[in-house]
Amino acid sequence: MLDVLMHFCPGCSHGTIHKLIAEVIDEMGMESNAIGITPVGCAVLAYNYIDIDWVQAAHGRACAVATAVKRLNPEKMVFTYQGDGDLAAIGAGETIHAANRGDNIVVIYVNNAVYGMTGGQMAPTTLLGMKTATTPQGRDAKLHGFPFKAGELISQLDGVCYFTRQSVHTPAAVRRAKKALRRAFDNSMEGKGLSFVEFVATCSSGWKLSPVEANRWMDENMMPFYPLSKE
Amino acid sequence: MEQEIKLLKGNEAVAEAAVRCGCDGYFGYPITPQSEILETLMELRPWETTGMVVLQAESEVAAINMIYGGASTGKRVLTSSSSPGISLMGEGLSYMAGAELPCVVVNVSRGGPGLGTIQPGQSDYFLATRAGGHGDFNMIVLAPNSVQEMYDFIFTAFDLAFRYRNPVMILSDGVIGQMMEKVTLSPALPRRTQQEIARDLRSWALTGKPAGERRNIVTSVQLDPHVQEGVNHRLQAKYKAMRENEVRCESFLCEDADYVIVAYGCSARISRKAVELAREAGLRVGLFRPITLFPFPYAELSALNARGFLSVELSAGQMVEDVRLSVGCRARVEHFGRMGGVIHSPNEVFEALTSKFTDK
Ligand SMILES: Cc1ncc(C[n+]2csc(CCOP(=O)(O)OP(=O)(O)O)c2C)c(N)n1
Ligand code: SF4
C-alpha cells in the first residue's frame, strides 16, 4: 500500500477492499509477481494505492485484458478489480467468457448497486424500488428489469473454481473477506480456474447517505438479496 | 540462409509470418474474408513450437482488449478482422494509442456499410487513416498488394509498432487476403524471452515490479487536463516523426506520365494492368502506389508532373482526398471505383481514365 491520500468518499468500501488486496499480496510475497487490472469506475486509480504493476482497462473489458496478460505470462498472479457497472453491464460478455474459459485469474467484483463514478445512476444490480439518478421513482421491474445476480450466474460456469460473496462492513466480515481473497489468489497460482470474489459494498455518495447510514442500509436491503457466503 | 517458398493465400501468409516473426500471441474472432488467419494458426499449432498463444476470442471487442493486455506486458501481439470487426475495435485502438502500446492489427477489408458484403472493398481508408477510434491519434497504415507483402509487412509492422509504441494497421482487402501466390518465407525468428523483455522494455512494460524499484502503470487516463494536454503533445510529436520517417511508396512509369493512376492494395494490381493497356494504346500513363496510407506520401506524389491524377479505389472515393491534398490545383484529380464488393477490371479502369481525361 502506498502512503498517499485516497480519492474515495468517506464511508466507501473501495478503500478497505484495496487494503485487503494489498495485505494478501504482501503476505504471499507476490509484489514482484502480481499484475492488476483496473476498471473504469471509481477504482480506476487503484494503481495509485497498491504498489504493484497495473494496467488500466477499457470500461468492462478487464477480464479480456486479464485473459491475455495471464496466458502470455502464466507465471504472474493476475487479477481484475471491477465495479458492478463495469463487470455486470458493459463487461458482462467478457466476464462470462473469461469465466467459461476458466482463465487462471482472480476477479474482484465490487457490487455497490449503482454507478458511483458517473454520479449514482442505476446499475444492473440496483435493487427494486431503489432510487438512483436514472430511476428517480425507484427501480421498476417493468421498465428496467430485475436486479442482476452476476455472482450466481458466473458460479454456474464450468471454468469457475471458486465463487464467494463477502463484505467489509464489520471487523469479522473483513477477516472473512481476507481469507476469501487469499484462497482466490492461491487458486489462480495453482491453475484451478477462475475465482470470483464478490463484495457487497457501500456507495455513500451514490446512495446519498452518511457512512453510518450506508452501512445500515446495506445490511437491511442489500444483504437479503445478495446473501453473503458463510465463509 | 535457408529459403523456403510456398504457395499461400494472403491470409495464410499472415499466419505464417506471425509464427516466424516471433509473435507472442494472436487473438481474433472469425469473419469473412479473413478467417483463414485464425484457422491456419490453429493448424500450425505454434504453442507447441515457439510457445505463441493463439486464442479465439468471443468478439472483436474482447480480441482488441486481449491485445491491449498482452501488449501491456511487452509482448508482440497480433489481431485480425474485417471491416465490421474493425469498427468494433475502435475504442481499444484508441486506448492502445493513448497508453502507447505496440500491436499489429490486420484488416482484410470488405464492402460496407453495415454488414455489407463479404466481397472485397477498400472503403475503410478513412477508418484506418483518419478515425481508427476516438481522440487525436494516428496509426501507421501499411497497404500490401501481394501475398508476399502480406507476409513481409507483418515483420515491418511489428518493428514499427515497437519503434513507436503504437498500433500499426495492415489495411489489406478481400482480394489480397484470398488470392494465392508464391511466397518466400524467411527463417523463423525466436520470440523475445522474459529476461529480454524485462531488460529491454521495463521502462514501460509490465513484468512484475522488481523489488525496490518503481512500479509500471499502463494507462490512458489523466484527470488533470494540463497533464493530458502534455500527453497529447508527446503523441503528436510521435506522429510527426512517423510522417517524417516512415513514408513508403512506389511508382511505375511515372517519369514521363501525362496521367497518373494512384492506387493501393488490390486496386494497384488491377491498375498496373490498366497502365499497360494505356501504354499499348500510346498514352503516357503511370501508376503511383502509396504503401503507407498513413503517413501518406504527399510530397512524393506532389513531385509528379502529370496533368491528371486518377484515384482508383474500391470505394466511393476516400483516398482521392489525400490525392487532392497532394496535387492541389496544379492538375485535375478524379476518382474511379466500383463499390459493394464489385471489383473493377483493368479495362474499366482504362476506360475511366480515357473518359475522364483524354476525351476532354
Ligand atoms: C465506453 C464507456 N462508456 C461509459 C463510460 C462512463 N462510465 C465511467 S464509470 C461508469 C460506471 C462505473 O460504475 P461501476 O462499475 O459500478 O463502478 P463504481 O464507480 O460504482 O465503483 C461509466 C458508465 C466510459 N468511461 N466508457
Ligand atoms: S462515488 Fe461511491 S463508489 Fe465512488 S468513491 Fe464515492 S462512495 Fe465510493
- Region B277-291: mean pLDDT is 97
Can you give the residue range of the structural domain that contains A185? 14-225
* DSSP per-residue codes, A55-119: EEPPTT-HHHHHHHHHHH-TTSEEEEEEEHHIIIIITHHHHHHHHHHT-S-EEEEEE-SEETTTT
User: 3-class secondary structure for B30-88?
Assistant: CCCCCCHHHHHHHHHCHHHCCCCEEEECCCHHHHHHHHHHHHHCCCCEEEEECHHHHHH
- Band the pLDDT of B350: cuts 50, 70, 90: very high
CB B113 within 8 A of CB B177: no
Question: Is residue B359 over pLDDT 60?
Answer: no
- Region B272-290: mean pLDDT is 98
Question: Is residue A80 over pLDDT 70?
Answer: yes
Give the span between the Cα atoms of B90 and B70, in whole angstroms: 17
- Phi, psi for B278 (deg, rounded to 5): -65, -40
Q: What percent of chain A has pLDDT over 70?
A: 100
Which domains can be identified in chain B, with CATH numbers? Answer: 4-185 (3.40.50.970), 250-357 (3.40.50.920)
- Region A86-111: mean pLDDT is 98
Q: What CATH number is attached to the domain comprising A70? A: 3.40.50.970
pLDDT for the residue A4: 93
CB B278 within 8 A of CB B244: no
User: Under the phi-then-psi rule, with left for phi > 0, alpha for psi from -120 to 50, and beta for the rest, what region is A120?
Assistant: left
- Band the pLDDT of A231: cuts 50, 70, 90: confident
Question: Is residue B266 over pLDDT 70?
Answer: yes
Cβ neighbours, 10 Å, residue B316: 10
pLDDT for the residue A76: 98
Question: Is residue B360 over pLDDT 80?
Answer: no
pLDDT for the residue B205: 98
Q: Which residue stretches of B100-224 are H helix?
A: 125-129, 147-164, 174-178, 194-201
Q: Of all protein residues, whose CA lies closest to atom 10 belonging to ligand 1?
A: A41
CB B158 within 8 A of CB B191: no
Give the span between the Cα atoms of B33 and B120, in whole angstroms: 8
- The whole model's pTM is what? 0.97
CB B113 within 8 A of CB B72: no
- Region B14-28: mean pLDDT is 98
Among the partner residues A34, A44, A58, nearest to B208 by beta-carbon distance: A34
User: Under the phi-then-psi rule, with left for phi > 0, alpha for psi from -120 to 50, and beta for the rest, what region is A208?
Assistant: left
Q: A66 contacts in B (CB within 8 Å)?
A: 69
Mapping DSSP to helix (H, G, I), strand (E, B) and coil, where does residue B17 land?
helix
Residue A231 lies in a domain: no
Burial classification of residue B7, based on how many CB atoms lie within 10 Å of its CB (0-12 exposed, 13-18 middle, 19 or more buried): exposed
Mutual angle of helices B147-164 and B225-245, in 10-degree steps: 140
Residue A2 lies in a domain: no
Question: Is residue B179 over pLDDT 90?
Answer: yes
Q: How far is the CA of B351 from the centre of ligand 1 (A)?
A: 55
- Phi, psi for B322 (deg, rounded to 5): -75, -30
Among the partner residues A45, A69, A94, nearest to B73 by beta-carbon distance: A69
Query: B189-203: string of b/e by CB count within 10 Å (b at 16+)?
Result: eebbebeebeeebbe
pLDDT for the residue B131: 87
Among candidate residues B157, B170, B165, B156, the one with its CA nearest the CA of residue B137: B165
Residue A98 lies in a domain: yes
Residue with cell 502506389: B289
Q: Calculate the average pLDDT of chain A.
A: 97
Q: Kindly state the DSSP code that residue B146 receives in the 8-state scheme.
A: S
pLDDT for the residue A74: 98
Q: Which tens digit of pLDDT belongs to each residue from B34-52?
A: 999 999 999 999 999 999 9
CB B308 within 8 A of CB B356: yes
Mapping DSSP to helix (H, G, I), strand (E, B) and coil, where does residue B291 land?
coil
Q: How far is the CA of B304 from the centre of ligand 1 (A)?
A: 52
- Band the pLDDT of B1: cuts 50, 70, 90: low
- Region B300-312: mean pLDDT is 97
Give the span between the Cα atoms of B355 and A132, in whole angstroms: 65
Question: Is residue B298 over pLDDT 80?
Answer: yes
pLDDT for the residue B13: 98
Question: Is residue B358 over pLDDT 80?
Answer: no
Residue A7 lies in a domain: no
- Region A184-194: mean pLDDT is 98
The CB of A54 under 6 Å from ligand 2? The reply is no
Pocket probe mutation, ligand 1, options A18, A40, A56, A202, max atoms within 8 Å of Cβ: A40
Tell me whether residues A58 and B95 touch, CB distance under 8 A: yes
Question: Is residue B303 over pLDDT 70?
Answer: yes
Q: Calculate the average pLDDT of chain B.
A: 97
Q: Which tens digit of pLDDT belongs to each residue from A61-71?
A: 999 999 999 99
- Band the pLDDT of B3: cuts 50, 70, 90: confident
Taking chain A, what is the end-to-end CA distance rounded to the nearest angstrom?
26
Give the span between the Cα atoms of A197 and A13, in whole angstroms: 14
Q: Please indicate if any CB of chain B lies within 8 Å of the CB of A55.
A: yes
Element (H, E) at B321: helix B320-327
Q: Please indicate if any CB of chain B lies within 8 Å of the CB of A212.
A: no
- Region B169-191: mean pLDDT is 97
The CB of A117 under 6 Å from ligand 1? The reply is yes
Give the span between the Cα atoms of A162 and A158, in whole angstroms: 10
Question: Is residue A48 over pLDDT 70?
Answer: yes
Question: Is residue B2 over pLDDT 80?
Answer: no
Question: Is residue A60 over pLDDT 60?
Answer: yes
Residue A201 lies in a domain: yes
Q: Tell me the nearest-neighbour CA distance from B66 into chain A, angstroms.
A: 5
Among the partner residues A32, A55, A66, nearest to B209 by beta-carbon distance: A32
Q: A53 contacts in B (CB within 8 Å)?
A: 206-209, 215-217
Q: How many distinct structural domains can be found in chain A?
A: 1
DSSP 3-state percent helix, strand, coil across chain B (nearest 5): 40, 20, 40
Residues 6 or more apart in contact with residue B286 via CB below 8 angstroms: B251, B252, B253, B254, B255, B256, B257, B259, B260, B261, B275, B304, B306
Q: Of all protein residues, whose CA lies closest to atom 6 belonging to ligand 2?
A: A9
- Phi, psi for B168 (deg, rounded to 5): -120, 135
- Region B130-134: mean pLDDT is 94
